[in-house]
Structure 1
Amino acid sequence: MAYLVKIGNSRGIRIPKLLIEQAHLEGQELKLEVLNGGLFIAPINEPRKGWAESINTLLACHGEEVIDSEWLDAELTVDDESEW
Structure 2
Amino acid sequence: MKANIINIGNSQGIILPAVLLRKLNLSLKSTVQIKIDNGVIVIKPEPRQGWAEAAKQMHAASDDELLLGDFPTEFDKEEWTW
- Give the structure-1-normalised TM-score: 0.53
Structure 2 CA distance for partners of 1:70 and 1:14, relative to 1, 3 Å? closer
Higher Cα Rg, which structure: 1
Structure 2: stretches of 5+ with no match in the other structure: 60-69
Kindly provide the amino acid, as one letter, of the partner of residue 38 in structure 1. V
Structure 1 moving runs of 4+ over 4 Å: 67-71
- RMSD of aligned Cα (Å): 3.8
Structure 1 or 2: more strand by fraction: 1
Structure 2 CA distance for partners of 1:74 and 1:33, relative to 1, 3 Å? same
Q: Secondary structure at the match of 2:12?
A: strand
- Give the structure-2-normalised TM-score: 0.54
Structure 1: stretches of 5+ with no match in the other structure: 58-66, 76-84
The size of the alignment, in residue pairs, is 69
